Amino acid sequence: MPDFYGLSPQRSTSLRAKPLSGIRVLDLTRLLPGPVATLHLADMGADVVKIEDTEAGDYARVMGRVRETGNPGAPPMSDFFRLVNRNKRAMRLDLKQPQGREVFLRLAKDADVVVEGFRPGVMAKLGVGYDALAAVNPRLVYCSITGYGQDGPYADRAGHDINYIGYAGVGDQIGTADAPVVPNFQIADLLGGALTPVMGILAALIDARSSGRGRHVDVAMTDAVLAHAILPLLGFLEHGKTPARGSGMLDGGLPCYNVYRTRDGLWMAVGALERPSRVR
C-alpha cells in the first residue's frame, strides 16, 4: 500500500528504498511546526534524530493525555508528542555545556540537514549556529523556522499560529461577515512552519548534491502564509483592497460554494463552481 506520499514499492522481489533514504537530519525543534516538518522527511525515508535538552525537553511530551509507551525504559509521553515524532530516533544533549556542543558538532559533521526553531541568534550564542556548523560540514543544509525571520523589527518577538496568520492578514479573512473565527487548523504552523521548510530543505539538498555547498534556509512562518494568500492578494490587485470576510468566491460569497445545515442537524458542503455542474 502507498504511504502518505504515495510512495509504493515497485512490484518486485525486493523493496525499493524511499527517496530520502541515506539522508540524516538532526532535529532540534519542539511543539508542532518543526516536528511535523521533520516527520515528513522521516516519512520519505530520512534518518531523523530528535535532539532534546537534558531538562524539560520538548514541551509536547506533556501536552494533552500522557500515557505509558509500552516500551521498557521509555518515559510516559503524550499522544500529541507520539503523533508528530513517530519514526524518529532520539537523544538528549546539553548544548550549554562544552561536552554537549562537542558531541553535536561531531554529529553535524556527518549530517545532511539540521532543523532548529529557536529565536534568532540563540544557536550562534550556543556555538552551533550556521557558520560554526558550515565550517565543519560545508554541504550541510541548515534550516531555521521562526515566526518572523532572522532579521527585521519583529525578529525577536514571540508568537504562535494565531499571531502569524493575524499579521499575514489571513486571520481577518476566516469567518463570517460578523466576526473572524479561530480556525481548528494551524495554518501558519503547518503550511508556514512545516511544508514550507520541507520544500526549502529539499531544494537545498538538491543544490548541495551538485554544488557541494549547503545553505541556510530561513523560514518565516508569517511570510510563508502571506505568500499563499492568493485570493486576498488577487482582490487587492483587482480592486485595491482585499474582499470583505465572507464575501469572496471561496469563503461564503457564492451560494454554490458554501455549507448548509441539513434536516438531521449536520452540515453539507456544496462545491459547484464549474458551469456544467450549475446548469443542468
Point out the residues that are catalytic: 160, 189
Pick from 242, 271, 253, 220: nearest CA to 170: 242
> Phi, psi at residue 171, to the nearest 5°?
-60, -35
The DSSP element (H or E) to which 133 belongs, if any, is helix 130-136
Residue whose grid cell is 494565531: 162
Residue whose grid cell is 525537553: 57
C-alpha cell at 89: 530516533
Residues near 16 by beta carbon (within 8 Å), at least 6 away in sequence: 9, 10
- Chain centre to alpha carbon of residue 80: 15
Q: Spell out the SS3 assignment of 214-268.
A: CEEEEEEHHHHHHHCCHHHHHHHHHHCCCCCCCCCCCCCCCCCEEEEECCCCCEE
C-alpha cell at 110: 556527518
